[in-house]
Amino acid sequence: MYVQGGVVIGPGNSTTSTGDPHHTVRTAVPLTVGVEEEFLLVDARTFRVVPAAPHVLATAGGLPGELHPEGTRYQVELSTPVAHSATALRKELVALRRTLGRAARAHGCRLLAAPSPVLPVEGPLHLTDDEPRQREQHRRFGSLTDTLVSCGRHVHVGTLDVDTAVTVSNRVRPWLPTLIALAANSPFWGGRDTGHASWRAMAWSGWPSAGLPPHFTSTAHFRRSVQTLLASGAALDVKMVYWDLRPSLRWPTLEIRAPDMSPDIDTAVLQAELARALVATALRENAEGRPEPVLREDVLHLARWRAAHDGLEGFGLDPYSGEEVPAADLAEALLDLVAPELAAAGDLDHAAKTMAALLRDGSGAHRQRAAFARRHDLTDVLRHLADETETL
């Protein structure tokens, strides 16, 4: 049991009511979900990143828009079609991962579902073929571009018009640190243990257009914030709006960008299930006329840092009070909050079992450190990640 904003959330009262104990407001239209996953390509023997993306993608083929390059030639990305169920999403993820994995092996590589290359990247950065944009990005942001060699998982929940996506984002924001803790999978960076569970979250927030989004008072406020990023030089274009959560500027979706990439398919599906259920919960609260949550911005920023530092095994901060709380309790509180919407979508059983397994077996960061502890050899970490990536 856990207190969120003065409301007790626990196993006995996970369903939100409108006042009538027999009636709960539901969203009228089922929400869709789509996932983008970014991968590293590593040499099958040395496990160092290799700039093989153009060759791997050419071999993989696939439908337009499903497999494509990322910011560097060390990376490839998949995008699932729009899915109406977690079962359909899982099927697409497995099929696309298998296609990329086969293509990688054809070029002496292994596919790595990891947020960081673990080992140092040697030599100059191999950027994608969009050279004018990449050169300008490197000129303007310098060493920040080194963090482009990192991978996340982006979950799109739709269909939402931009006005709705903006209001929903305000209700999802408090849970971004918990989503970061659940997905934490980047303790090693540049050949050493960073002391954080998700160093990617820390490194990526160095970009002036990244990190937590503002609390938006209106759609006009959202558009002004984007325009300010562009006008100030903090972003070259709208593609560089790197907030952890954003109304998509391309699709009718709300995009959750906070989670680290991870190899486990069940964890990927869990993140999509939680994202969709959070959006559904926010829509329900909007329909019920509930006031938006009031947060101290400094507390939310500290909660994000604590989630990146401790991950799932340590402590987090209650985003409302700033009190220290076991990260596992925050994860269970999130599950309790969205349980009605998970149940309505048919996702509750899978989400609960996957969450329980994470809490029992540890986060990706915990498992990486366990792999390293056996021989104090980072290639063991990379082999562990590659093997998990190929376990479908």
* Structure token digits, residue 207: 């970009």
- Inter-CA distances, 236 with 95, 216, 241, 261, 333, Å: 34, 22, 9, 25, 38
% pLDDT > 90, the chain: 85
Q: What pLDDT, on a 0 to 100 scale, did the predictor assign at position 123?
A: 81
**Stronger pLDDT, 218 or 130, i.e. the higher one:** 218
How does pLDDT run across 258-291, given as a tens digit for each residue?
Answer: 999 999 999 999 999 999 999 999 999 999 999 9
Which is it for the CA torsion 99, 100, 106, 112, positive or negative?
negative
Is 50 exceeded by the pLDDT of residue 18? no
Q: Which pLDDT band holds residue 7 (cuts at 50, 70, 90)?
A: very low
List the domain boundaries for the chain.
27-390
Is 90 exceeded by the pLDDT of residue 216? yes
Q: Which pLDDT band holds residue 29 (cuts at 50, 70, 90)?
A: low
Is 50 exceeded by the pLDDT of residue 23? no
% pLDDT > 70, the chain: 91
> What amino acid is encoded at 282 in this protein?
A
| Average pLDDT of the residues of the chain | 91
Q: What pLDDT, on a 0 to 100 scale, did the predictor assign at position 2?
A: 35
Instruction: Assign domain 27-390 one CATH number from 3.30.420.130, 3.30.460.10, 3.40.50.1820, 3.30.590.20.
Output: 3.30.590.20
Q: Which pLDDT band holds residue 135 (cuts at 50, 70, 90)?
A: confident
Is 70 exceeded by the pLDDT of residue 171? yes
Q: What is the mean pLDDT of residues 116-143?
A: 86
Q: Which pLDDT band holds residue 62 (cuts at 50, 70, 90)?
A: confident
Is 80 exceeded by the pLDDT of residue 86? yes
Q: What pLDDT, on a 0 to 100 scale, did the predictor assign at position 380?
A: 98
How does pLDDT run across 350-390, given as a tens digit for each residue?
Answer: 999 999 999 999 999 999 999 999 999 999 999 999 999 99
CB within 8 A of 165, min separation 6: which ones?
A: 247, 248, 252, 253, 254
How does pLDDT run across 46-60, given as a tens digit for each residue?
Answer: 999 999 999 999 999
User: pTM of this prediction?
Assistant: 0.92
